Amino acid sequence: MKFISEASTSVKIQKMKERVRWRHSSITARGIDQTSMVLDNGKDNPDFSFMVIGDSGTKPYPGFHPQRKVAELMLPHREECSFVLHTGDVIYIVGSQEYYPRNFIEPYREFIQGGENYKRIAYNRITFNQTPILPVLGNHDYYDVPLMSRLVAGSTKLLRQFFRYKDIEIGWYGSEQGNVFAQAFIDCLGNIDSPLLAEHLDKHYTAKTDTGLCLRYEPGIFTRIPNRYYTFRYGGIDFFALDSDTFNMPSPIPSTRQGDEKRRQLSKQRHDIEAEEIQILDDITKLNPENSDHAQQLDELNAKLNQIDEVKIDIEKQLTSSSKSNLIDWEQLDWLKKRLIESWHSDEVRGRIIFFHHPPYVTEATKWHQAQTLAVRHRLREVFDAVAQTLGVRNSERPIVDLILNGHAHCLEHLRTTNTGHADSNINCIVSGGSGHRPRRQRKEGNSLMEKFMISTGIDNRKVADSYLFVGRNGHDEMRRLPYSFVRIDVKAGNPPKFTARPFVAEWYQDKWSNITLEPFEF
């Protein structure tokens, strides 16, 4: 059975535009830039810090609550950190409103205004306090539940809970094509009656930037981001938040003999993993979550089901990809290219950070060979190459961006790209996707990432990145270790800026928590 569905790229884009009244006459008349915001918390210091989390939005497990544990690790840093970046997958498994109270509001209650009464806070009435959480969309924040799956999963939810079966976090609802995320975090101007729109814009879109008026983000008062992708400047650093869910469509499979063979292989792979999925579901019904040994087996089997879902979706994207231009969000990519060029031409900017969900570079076992990973890497590389060409010799002095932050891979990882032959060379990348959902293992091939490039003489198999730190699942059975994590990043004064990343890890091992000390790293 197909438990998860995903809207097309064009539907995602259109729905999000409707929610923010994209370029409505009242907005354009005021010269408002709907992709910029000013973070108003009284600080503009070149020395500042922030935290990064991702892939967090999951429930407590029997006996332990990983997401809450990570939140507790973050609490001592609130006073020193200006904000928290969330790299996506805010809510598992299908971004549903019914899981926001338990999977987001409750674990992060100290970061939310009135969080001491977290049970009274609705998912669409969240206001962050002095250390706000600034998110981007993950793939699970866009997922929905087909009607038949909804009838099966939703109607049996209470029954499963009553008998304490494993809750697979799929109930009556899905993300409504990203609408739940939008209602929780984005300033949905579509919710406002037309006569009141002007008053709302005049009240909250008062900040000024080089691109016009924009939304003023006020911790403790009004904490809404302006769009699904956006930018803000803090301490001389330009931050770019992207929606990678709309530019991760794989390139079309060519209509050649080799292309036909690839389609056959993908179809066979899909058939095989669906058979494996049926077997796992059958195995799950034979296990009792009250038994500690069975509970561990259930956790492993559910982790395999999640991986199967990802593989099935990746295969489906490959099989349905075509040359149609609406499969790629060119508008967002053109926006990024333009804003990066503008950033490089501003004397007020000393650094640039991009954060989005799907990592272009990662050694987690399930992600590197996904077609979506390659698609995101190629799209980003095209943008960086175009920016470098426009800037000319200027960008040879340093990378186009200083840091790329991602989630999606359930681990904590620090990588650095090599000389790729493109403008994505020598960039530091941090994957912070280990903040709550089941950690994943590192791939067996090692820390060096190789990529095939077509050149005039054939294929060049080139090293494109090295991994210097990986924190993920390791061990088996009673020796299994589950590390959950976030990272704090300290930005130092100077141009170019210096960064210090401080990893924080809590490990669940043999039914107890241990804090793991890792050395900070600088770049």
At 88-98, the pLDDT tens digits run: 999 998 999 99
Is the distance from CB of 123 to CB of 183 less than 8 angstroms?
yes
User: What pLDDT is attached to residue 3?
Assistant: 67
Mention every residue, 6+ apart, whose C-beta is less than 8 A from residue 390: 341
Q: Say if CB 371 and CB 269 are below 8 A apart.
A: no
| CA-only gyration radius of the chain, Å | 22
Q: CA-to-CA distance for 193 and 21, rounded, in angstroms? A: 12
Q: What pLDDT sits at residue 150?
A: 42
Confidence of residue 42 (pLDDT cuts 50, 70, 90): low
pLDDT, position 257: 80
Domain definitions of the chain by residue range: 5-252+321-522, 257-317
Quote the pLDDT of residue 319.
83
Spacing of C-alpha 476 from chain mean position: 28
Q: Does the structure show a pLDDT above 60 at 167?
A: no
Say what the pLDDT of residue 116 is.
96
Tell me the DSSP string of 339-390.
HHHHHHT-TT--EEEEE-SS-SS--BTTTTT-HHHHHHHHHHHHHHHHHHHH
Better-predicted residue by pLDDT, 152 or 165: 152
Residue spans of alpha helices (H) in 363-497:
371-391
pLDDT the model gives residue 480: 87
CB 358 within 8 A of CB 370: no
Amino acid, res. 150: R
Whole-model pTM? 0.91
Residue 251 pLDDT level (bands cut at 50, 70, 90): confident
What is the C-alpha to C-alpha distance for residues 299 and 231, in angstroms, rounded to an integer? Answer: 38
Tell me: pLDDT of 79 over 60: yes
According to CATH, the topology of domain 5-252+321-522 is Purple Acid Phosphatase; chain A, domain 2 (3.60.21)
pLDDT in tens, 490-508: 999 999 999 999 999 999 9
- Total residues belonging to the chain: 523
The SS3 call for residue 516 is strand
pLDDT above 50 for 151: no
Distance between CA atoms of 185 and 177, rounded to whole angstroms?
Answer: 15
* Mean pLDDT, rounded, for 309-332: 79
For residue 158, what pLDDT band results from cuts at 50, 70 and 90?
very low
Distance of CA 216 to the CA centre of its chain: 23
User: Measured between alpha carbons, how far is 195 from 177 in angstroms, rounded to an integer?
Assistant: 27
Predicted confidence at residue 166, as pLDDT, reads 44
User: What band does 153 get if pLDDT is binned at 50, 70 and 90?
Assistant: very low
Most trustworthy range by pLDDT among 118-127, 259-268, 313-322: 118-127
- Mean pLDDT confidence for 230-236: 96
DSSP 176-242: TTTHHHHHHHB--GGGS-HHHHHHHHHHH--EEETTEEEEEEBTTTB--BSSSSEEEEETTEEEEE-
Q: How far is CA 16 from CA 22, 179, 183, 190, in A?
A: 8, 8, 11, 10
- H/E stretch holding 336: helix 330-344
Indicate the pLDDT class of residue 318, thresholds 50, 70 and 90. confident
What is the average pLDDT score of the chain?
Answer: 89
- Average pLDDT score over residue span 272-280: 81
Here the tokens at position 389 are: 């060409």
Poorest-pLDDT segment among 280-284, 330-334, 413-417: 280-284
In angstroms, the CA 143 to CA 261 distance is: 30
